[in-house]
Amino acid sequence: MTHSVDPLPYAPPQVTQDNANIMKMNEDFLKSMKDAFELLRTKGPQEATAAVQRALSGGNANQPHMDHARTPFTPSNAGEWAQAWTQAQTQVSPAPHAPAAPTFDADTPGTFSTHTFGNSAGQRQYKLYVPAAYTGEPLPLIVMLHGCTQNADDFAAGTRMNEMAERHGFIVVYPNQMQAANHSKCWNWFKPADQMRDQGEPSLIAGITREVMGRYRVDPARVYVAGLSAGGAMADIMLKTSPDLYAAAGVHSGLAYGCAKDLPSALGAMRGGKAQRHRTRAVPQRPLIVFHGDADTTVHPSNAAEIVASFDAGTTTISAQAGAASGRHAYTQQRHVAANGVEAEYWSIHGAGHAWSGGSQQGSYTDPSGPDAAAEMVRFFLAHPRAH
């Protein structure tokens, strides 16, 4: 059954003089938030935090004194706050490569189709790639969650995961975030309502996963989830909240489940704030592979360590290796085994920024000079079916 899309978080106002003034104030607030992100990038967290506080109080990020004539931040204008934050996020870190229309050749002879799933949380489109090798035998399934400003086609092109599906024999599904849910098409990993099992966006992603499992023969022990940036953060949420559905996860340039509960704490987590380290860490239930560039200025590399921190108790570093071919990024790979036997891999890519390692320039947010994250994730996933 298809349900109607959730409304915007605030109703578009009628264009009156008063509302025109309000819209002007919202534009000023958006500019203030962009200024705050620029301060974060150029001067550091202390100046940026002060700017955010001024913006939330109604002042301009570049003005040392508050202008009390402006509208302060309240729950009623949370929609403007969210729009400002996501637009500012895009402003600070433009994509290294402009997305190109994906092309499919002899390497991807399967079917790539568009579908829609809906439930009480709304509806989302998704793209589904079924390899030509599918003959009805149970195959693994990988759920791929794109980053901010991306979409399914862009993410498929950049990661080349459809080519991997043909090579190794698995199905891939790419849920699409809608702009009505987030201005920059980010998954809302920082909202409490979207961090819970069977609610919000997790219910939509899990619902899409189950719909594909019902439509095709999928091995239920080999269902995996992976993502980039905001999609990586949501992949960790899906693994933690639905360990009965997903056997393992891949998180690229993402953030740990529960590190933020609202937009200000999300900003703090993205810059590597210390507050996130004080969270209670559960014993890991499922394997995890993490990639992060150590020169990432959008999501601080400390977030990668936070993602695998739950493996620290009783964890042993089995191996650490560094390597780089000519003209490519060096990297350090660590393999950890937690006290309960659950494994994790952490790949730190030296000199890499906020981009999918080893990806294709046909997609946005890719860095072809790094180790092939897609290939390594597939290797890791297929070696870790769900045991129970």
* CATH label of the domain that carries residue 163: 3.40.50.1820
Instruction: Looking at the structure, tell me whether residues 200 and 306 fall in a common domain.
Output: yes
Instruction: Looking at the structure, tell me whether residues 154 and 284 fall in a common domain.
Output: yes
Instruction: Looking at the structure, tell me whether residues 321 and 219 fall in a common domain.
Output: yes
The residue among 219, 329, 199, 306 whose CA lies nearest residue 256 is: 306
Is residue 317 a contact partner of residue 334, using CB atoms and an 8 Å limit? yes
Domain assignment present for 322: yes
Is residue 67 a contact partner of residue 59, using CB atoms and an 8 Å limit? yes
Domain assignment present for 101: no
Domain assignment present for 175: yes
* pLDDT at residue number 51: 64
> Number of folded domains in the chain?
2
Instruction: Looking at the structure, tell me whether residues 196 and 47 fall in a common domain.
Output: no
The β-bridge relationship of strands 111-119 and 356-357 is unpaired
Beta bridge partners of 143: 173, 225
For 11, residues 6+ apart whose C-beta sits below 8 A from its C-beta are none
Question: Side chain identity at 101, as an amino acid letter?
Answer: A
Q: Which stretches in the chain have pLDDT values below 70? A: 1-106, 274-281, 313-318, 325, 388
Instruction: Looking at the structure, tell me whether residues 75 and 123 fall in a common domain.
Output: no
Domain assignment present for 288: yes
d(CA 100, CA 234): 25
**Which of 36, 60, 92 is the last residue in one of the domains?**
92
Structure tokens at 7: 């409304």
Instruction: Looking at the structure, tell me whether residues 171 and 286 fall in a common domain.
Output: yes
The residue among 277, 288, 227 whose CA lies nearest residue 254 is: 227
**Which of 46, 64, 92 is the last residue in one of the domains?**
92
* pLDDT at residue number 37: 59
Domain assignment present for 104: no
Instruction: Looking at the structure, tell me whether residues 180 and 266 fall in a common domain.
Output: yes
d(CA 151, CA 148): 8
End-to-end CA distance of the chain: 31
**Which of 64, 92, 120 is the last residue in one of the domains?**
92
Instruction: Looking at the structure, tell me whether residues 79 and 131 fall in a common domain.
Output: no
* pLDDT at residue number 377: 98
Domain assignment present for 10: no
Domain assignment present for 1: no
Strands (E), the chain: 111-119, 122-130, 139-145, 171-175, 218-228, 248-252, 288-293, 316-323, 331-337, 343-349, 356-357, 366-367
DSSP 8-class letter at 48: H
For 48, residues 6+ apart whose C-beta sits below 8 A from its C-beta are 36, 37, 39, 40, 267, 271
Domain assignment present for 77: yes
* pLDDT at residue number 340: 86
Q: Helices 152-159 and 161-168 meet at what angle, rounded to 10?
A: 60
DSSP 8-class letter at 81: H
| pTM of the predicted structure, to 2 decimals | 0.75
Is residue 260 a contact partner of residue 273, using CB atoms and an 8 Å limit? no
Instruction: Looking at the structure, tell me whether residues 252 and 298 fall in a common domain.
Output: yes
Q: What is the tens place of the pLDDT at every residue in 182-240?
A: 999 999 999 999 999 999 999 999 999 999 999 999 999 999 999 999 999 999 999 99
* CB atoms inside a 10 Å sphere around CB 333: 18
Instruction: Looking at the structure, tell me whether residues 236 and 350 fall in a common domain.
Output: yes
* pLDDT at residue number 387: 84
**DSSP reduced 3-state for 234:** helix
- Residue 22's domain comprises 17-92
Q: What is the tens place of the pLDDT at every residue in 12-40?
A: 334 445 444 444 444 555 555 556 655 55
d(CA 373, CA 187): 21
Instruction: Looking at the structure, tell me whether residues 247 and 146 fall in a common domain.
Output: yes
Instruction: Looking at the structure, tell me whether residues 323 and 282 fall in a common domain.
Output: yes
d(CA 312, CA 140): 29
